[in-house]
């Protein structure tokens, strides 16, 4: 049992490095990236140069070879300034570091910030229910022919290489779900953006595949093992989304504390009103608890322990706590909180996106029901 799940001294020294980078390269541009509503390639390149995209990748592949807790530190600090960049960073770091089959040169390019990779897994009838995938890949000679459509694909348009899941068929036999490495400029692939409420610079898109031919060597992992490839990173990535929510909420709370100290109403600072001060300290308490839970789950992953339960708890609790904190802070700022010239409305829009990444909040609770009560109580097969 872990007794201290907070980052240690080496992680805090690394945090200082990340903070300085975020202050200089990320924070001044967040509003512009949100308005442009497209991948911020300038930020991606800068994060690559700073070594943040390859935090957990092996040194021989251009990464830093650090632990998962270090990646958590990176995501928490970036999210204080810009949610889109935090999402981009954790997707690139976990895909390159935990999902096999991209190829060494692609991983090196991702770590440098020269290329972006993405997972194309969700479909109209297959989101949380992965078994509902209808996209098909039929064996034809020395390759597969892929047909189908993917939606809610992060970093599209923009990503040069996609990890596409498809139900594979050989001689009329269903061989299960396989993930394939597909270049976005491959003949038969078309991509288009999907408008979204928040985290708009991280880009969300649709991918249509029509008679897309890939070689057998494009298979990522073993044939029929697509689910296993996808799940390889979940226990880590599900700790990062709450840390992103906590980072954004912490920055919002800090700004709100300063506002409560200086904003005068009825002859005194509004922070003297318990209707303001009590919610602030309650949110700090919840965020600290959620933060420790997320880092505990990352520490368990680092030590090779099964963190399914802790990661699921960290995700639903951290994200919902972050959303509640930012929403309350917006109201404390009055009408100004609703104005686009102030940062709070973007913070609230952005943090809401985390409810749907890598499994919804309710899916996390279903996972916990399976862990706590047993599979027969989860309500799904």
Tell me what pLDDT residue 1 has: 40
Same fold, 119-224 and 230-377: no
Q: What are phi and psi of 176, to 5 degrees?
A: 95, -170
User: Is residue 37 classed as helix, strand or coil in its secondary structure?
Assistant: coil
* Residue pLDDT, tens place only, 310-345: 999 999 999 999 999 999 999 999 999 999 999 999
- Rounded Cα–Cα distance for residues 93 and 247 (Å): 18
Q: How large a percentage of the chain has pLDDT more than 90?
A: 85
Buried b / exposed e over 18-39, threshold 16 CB at 10 Å, is beebbeebbbebbeebbeeeeb
User: In the chain, at which residue ranges do the beta strands (DSSP E only) sit?
Assistant: 117-120, 136-140, 143-154, 161-170, 173-183, 189-193, 204-215, 219-220, 264-265, 268-269
Output the pTM of the full model: 0.94
- Rounded Cα–Cα distance for residues 376 and 370 (Å): 7
The fold of 9-116 is Butyryl-Coa Dehydrogenase, subunit A; domain 1 (1.10.540)
Answer whether CATH 1.20.140.10 is correct for domain 230-377: yes
Residue 368 tokens read as: 């916990």
Tell me what pLDDT residue 165 has: 94
Tell me what pLDDT residue 276 has: 97
CATH architecture of 119-224: Beta Barrel (2.40)
With a cut of 50, list the residues of the chain below it in pLDDT: 1-3
Taking each helix axis as running N to C, give the angle between helix 41-49 and helix 104-112, from 0 to 180 degrees, rounded to the nearest 10.
Answer: 100
* 42: number of Cβ within 10 Å: 13
Contact 152, 204 (CB under 8 A): yes
Closest CA relative to residue 165, chosen from 231, 66, 106, 243: 231
Residue at token pair 């270049």: 183
Closest CA relative to residue 133, chosen from 193, 91, 183, 175: 175
- Rounded Cα–Cα distance for residues 144 and 142 (Å): 7
* 7: number of Cβ within 10 Å: 21
How do the domains of the chain map onto residue ranges? 9-116, 119-224, 230-377
């Amino acid at each position: 049992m872990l007794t201290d799940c907070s980052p240690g001294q080496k992680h805090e020294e690394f945090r200082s490095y990340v903070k300085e980078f975020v202050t200089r390269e990320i924070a001044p541009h967040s509003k512009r990236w949100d308005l442009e509503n497209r991948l911020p390639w300038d930020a991606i390149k800068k994060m690559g140069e700073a070594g943040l995209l390859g935090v957990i990748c092996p040194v021989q592949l251009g990464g830093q070879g650090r632990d998962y807790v270090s990646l958590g530190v990176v995501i928490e600090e970036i999210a204080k300034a810009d949610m889109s960049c935090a999402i981009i960073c954790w997707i690139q770091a976990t895909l390159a570091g935990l999902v096999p089959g991209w190829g060494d040169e692609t991983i090196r390019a991702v770590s440098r910030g020269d290329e972006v990779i993405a997972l194309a897994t969700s479909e109209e009838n297959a989101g949380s229910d992965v078994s509902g995938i209808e996209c098909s890949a039929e064996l034809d000679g020395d390759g597969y022919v892929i047909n189908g459509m993917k939606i809610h694909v992060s970093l599209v348009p923009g990503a040069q290489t996609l990890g596409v899941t498809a139900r594979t068929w050989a001689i009329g036999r269903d061989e299960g779900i396989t993930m394939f490495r597909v270049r976005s400029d491959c003949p038969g692939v078309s991509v288009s953006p999907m408008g979204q409420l928040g985290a708009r610079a991280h880009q969300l898109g649709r991918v249509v595949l029509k008679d897309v031919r890939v070689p057998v060597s494009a298979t990522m992992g073993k044939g029929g093992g697509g689910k296993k490839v996808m799940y390889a990173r979940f226990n880590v990535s599900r700790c990062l989304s709450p840390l992103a929510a906590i980072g954004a909420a912490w920055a919002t709370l800090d700004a709100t504390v300063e506002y409560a100290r200086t904003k005068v109403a009825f002859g005194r600072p509004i922070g003297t009103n318990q209707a303001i001060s009590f919610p602030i300290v309650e949110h700090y308490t919840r965020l600290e608890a959620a933060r420790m839970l997320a880092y505990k789950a990352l520490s368990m992953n680092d030590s090779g322990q099964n963190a399914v339960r802790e990661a699921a708890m960290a995700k639903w609790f951290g994200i919902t706590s972050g959303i509640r904190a930012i929403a309350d802070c917006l109201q404390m700022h009055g009408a100004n909180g609703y104005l686009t010239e102030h940062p709070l409305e973007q913070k609230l829009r952005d943090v809401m996106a985390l409810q749907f990444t890598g499994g919804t909040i309710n899916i996390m609770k279903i996972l916990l029901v399976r862990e706590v009560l047993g599979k027969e109580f989860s309500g799904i097969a």
